[in-house]
Amino acid sequence: MASINRFSPFLAIAVGVAHAGLSPILAIGGVKPNLVLIAAVLVTVLVGFLSGAAQAFIAGLTANVLGGEPLGSVPLTLLAVVALTAAAAPLFARLPLVYPLIAVFGASIVADAATLLRQLLGGAPGTDVPLGIILAAAALNAGIAGLVLVVVRLVVHRRERTRSGGVSRWPT
């Protein structure tokens, strides 16, 4: 497993800024993607729990500061999602290509449920969100994660081939 390197915090901050700036623009049918969730779950699945937790905290705090959420709510939700993702990983050990997508889909539902619960406990009016929107958001996040995952796997494959003289452990 890889670990956190010196560029990881900068990447996490960039993801948080991209989430705060691009999520409203990338909305499809009123459904906004959760870029910090996608990044945190993919880092957790591909790199490990500690790196995922660091990504979740830094990116979540950045998005939290730049967005309008109550301070600390986004990182706390992301840390819970990262913990659930890491805990469920052994159950899906035989599905390394599919598990990241399943994890993002499930994590999106959990994060949206946590947001709804926080709004209900805070007494916010109009917290009526149909299940269809939550599922659409989960599908959108999983779709974006799939695109990111393809790019990441191609970069890793190419990097391994150049380091090992043309031999890679990834299927061609």
pTM for the whole structure = 0.86
Which structural domains are found in the chain, ordered by start? 8-163 (1.10.1760)
Integer Cα distance of 154 and 49 in angstroms: 23
Pair 56, 40: CB distance under 8 Å:
yes
Whether the pLDDT of residue 120 is over 90: the answer is no
Question: If you compute the radius of gyration of the chain from its CA atoms, what whole number of angstroms results?
Answer: 17
The phi, psi pair for 164, rounded to 5°, reads -100, 10
Pair 119, 14: CB distance under 8 Å:
no
Instruction: List pLDDT tens digits, range 39-84.
Output: 999 999 988 999 999 999 999 999 999 987 778 889 999 999 999 9
Whether the pLDDT of residue 96 is over 60: the answer is yes
Integer Cα distance of 70 and 73 in angstroms: 6
Integer Cα distance of 67 and 91 in angstroms: 35
Instruction: List pLDDT tens digits, range 4-50.
Output: 677 888 999 999 999 999 988 888 888 999 999 999 999 999 889 99
Pair 44, 86: CB distance under 8 Å:
yes
pLDDT of residue 147: 95
